[in-house]
Amino acid sequence: MRLLGIDTGGTFTDFVLWREPELQVHKVLSTPDAPEQAILRGIADLGLDPAELRVIHGSTVATNAVLEGKGVRTLYVANHGLKDLLTIGRQSRPDLYDLQPPPHRPPVPAELCVETGGRLSAEGRWIEPLTQAQLETFKADVARLAPESVAINLLFSYLDDAAERALAAALPDDLFVARSSEVLPLVGEYERGIATWLNAWVGPIVARYLERLAAGLPGARIAVMQSSGEAIAAAQTSRHAARLLLSGPAGGLAGAAFAASASAASPRLLSFDMGGTSTDVALIDGQPRLTMAGRIAGLPVALPMVDMHTIGAGGGSIARLDAGGLLLVGPESAGADPGPACYGCGGIEPTVTDANLILGRLDPESFLGGRMRLDSNAARVAVERLAHKLGLSLEETALGIIRIADEHMARALRVISVQRGLDPRDFVLTSFGGAGGLHVCALAEALGMEEAMVPVQAGVLSALGMLATPAGRTLTRTRLGLLSDLTDQEIATDLQTLADTGVVELKREGTATEGLRVEHSLDLRYRGQSHTLNLPWSSVTEVMDAFHARHAAAYGHRLDLPVELVNLRVRVRAPAPDLTLPAFTSTTDRPTTRSTRAYGCNAPVPVVTRAACHPNADLIGPAVIADPVATTWLAPGWSARLDRAGNLILRSRGRSEGAVRNDSETSGAT
């Protein structure tokens, strides 16, 4: 079957088709109200028969539903005395010294929270067994409240899920049900409850979307990217909707790691994925890092997901003035409809993309390989209204928009590097997404970095990452106890039981069990601590020594306290698809015939294609490098060279930040 990777973004929906040995890319404007329509249109544009396709899809349906607060009517079920658990939360303040924080709407309205029996102790003993009378009361509550889905979160259900199963069995078949013992069988009733509620809140929305998509692609095999960077069959997705909250961004990190593996560049990447609506930043050290401490819309998501930081800065981010007359950029976005003014689809607000076009960093004739012409006049009209209010020229206003957007992204990159004790200069700044290449040089300069990479197919790298992603599962389960009280055999047996569950799930969706790779790890802490460190499993003695060393490296000290095991973790992955990027062919014999005027440059700036760059000679900035799916602004003081895989390797030429020098001898010289 033909392999098709699809990434649904806020502005564009990207397609990468693998027909060995060829790779074909395509973009269409997204349809946010019905994302499947853009997918069906793109597949029709490519002339593909759905019955011949295996689709790996990065979906934003679950993410958008959470961010926009548009989940379904969900009933939250807890033990007696605990129905307000999600409202109380952890009582942590985002701003420690803010004595009058704004009120937050509780996740679940009070009238949709009910209590029942079935309470366990921390040791797994029944304190209040679930009775038949309580089941009848529960069924009456459900009938009265008429929810569309139900989230069941009972105390210590990961030790014994009998009560949760009984409650689920008492519900009508047409209700969507999420049980905490299935969604997140870990210690921590608040985090477990949030994950279970999120799963129930958006599960029906994801299920309906995938049903519409499957109906439009009869015969296609459809899988969806999980937040942990593994593919899951679409038929299983609605049960695990909360695992899709970083579906698309996870594909981008997989694509960046894949591109770096084919390059001579360092595998240590500081990545930023800048699309039309947002920017995702992350660290990749060979492979993307995972975390169980992610957040979305201010809520903790204690499910395995790629470790990244997201901000509302993208090509479609709208520029405006605040009440005091200061220029702001984002987080509001023009999205795909109406989109930036220069798209000619009715947008009138000035955006980052409009500013880049006015500054000459985008070529209106070669955008998306010439398939979409940008409207320069519409961009000028949009930004001129803002310039008039600021009392600045058109170009000064556009440059101000870009500098503010750059600072937002630089700050986000510092959060995941400098604020974690890591020096950005030890990494290669890697940009992708449709807008990433326009800002990569400025961000590298802001972080003191001298090397950057714009991967091949950077504008559709998330969709490419879908193709390089294996099917898999990341499973976790609490196993509390002092590490010294457990034997190697006990831990190995429990890990194997967890791994067997993952193998069964993969087999159920048609994944061959031959060649499966299984990784075992433990979450450990000193007794009395709250936070854990994750370490690969080997033996009790070795992992205990490794924990002491890791704790000393992370926090500068080790404690003379017993080490406690908290969670078991298993990652089961099928072999990665046999995907090889086609050899990149440069066309250096083709002379540069196009140029553009760029603000701050005295001479015309050449517009070249990536294929016109030379693997053995540098392209000297300033220059506009126009790909069929993205554009790179090679700033003054930077040079670019192709590597063997077609990735653009950018290097600083030792120029001071902000210096601009251009003449006919250096502009675009090779």
For position 559, what pLDDT does the model report? 94
Query: Model confidence over 413-423: pLDDT tens digits?
Result: 999 898 888 89
Which segment of 117-126, 360-369, 386-395, 407-416 scores lowest on mean pLDDT? 360-369
- Mean per-residue pLDDT for 225-250? 86
Q: What is the pLDDT of residue 265?
A: 65
**Would you state the structure tokens that stand for residue 196, as one six-digit string?**
């279970």
Residue 631 has pLDDT above 50, yes or no: yes
Which residues, listed in sequence order, are joined to residue 517 by a DSSP beta bridge? Answer: 573
637 vs 93, which has greater pLDDT? 637
Residue 663 has pLDDT above 50, yes or no: no
Both structure tokens of 460: 């559709």
**Which residues are paired to 358 by β-bridges?**
none
pLDDT band at 618 (very low <50, low <70, confident <90, very high): confident
Higher pLDDT, 582 or 267: 267
Cβ-proximal residues to 39 (8 Å cutoff; 6+ apart), any chain: 6, 8, 13, 57, 213, 216, 217
| pLDDT at 202 (0 to 100) | 93
pLDDT confidence of residue 592 = 56
Helical residues (DSSP H) of 416-517, grouped into ranges = 440-446, 461-467, 488-508
Kindly report, residue by residue over 375-414, the tens digit of the pLDDT.
999 999 999 999 999 999 999 999 999 999 999 999 999 9
pLDDT of residue 667: 39
* CA distance linking residue 583 with residue 589, whole number of Å: 18
Query: What percentage of the chain has pLDDT greater than the value 70?
Result: 95
Q: What is the mean predicted confidence (pLDDT) over 449-459? A: 90
When pLDDT is averaged across residues 172-185 and rounded to a whole number, the result is 94
Residue-wise pLDDT for 589-602, tens only, equals 555 568 888 998 88
Q: In Å, what is the CA distance from 570 to each residue of 189, 520, 521, 567?
A: 21, 5, 6, 10
Examine the pLDDT at 78 and tell me if it is beyond 60: yes
Q: What is the pLDDT of residue 587?
A: 64
- Produce one character per residue of 188-224: b if its CB has 16 or more CB atoms within 10 Å, e if not: bbebbbbbbbbbbbbbbbbbebbebbbeebeebbbbb
pLDDT at 433: 85
Class of domain 2-67+221-246 (CATH, top level): alpha beta
pLDDT score of 533: 93
Domain ranges of the chain: 2-67+221-246, 74-206, 317-398, 472-573
Asked whether residue 665 carries a pLDDT value surpassing 50, the answer given is no
Q: Report which of 277, 282, 337 is spatially closest to residue 312, judged by C-alpha positions.
A: 277
Nearest to 367 by CA among 349, 347, 346, 342: 342
Q: What is the pLDDT of residue 656?
A: 37
> For the residues 265-270, what does the mean pLDDT come to?
82
Confidence of residue 289 (pLDDT cuts 50, 70, 90): confident
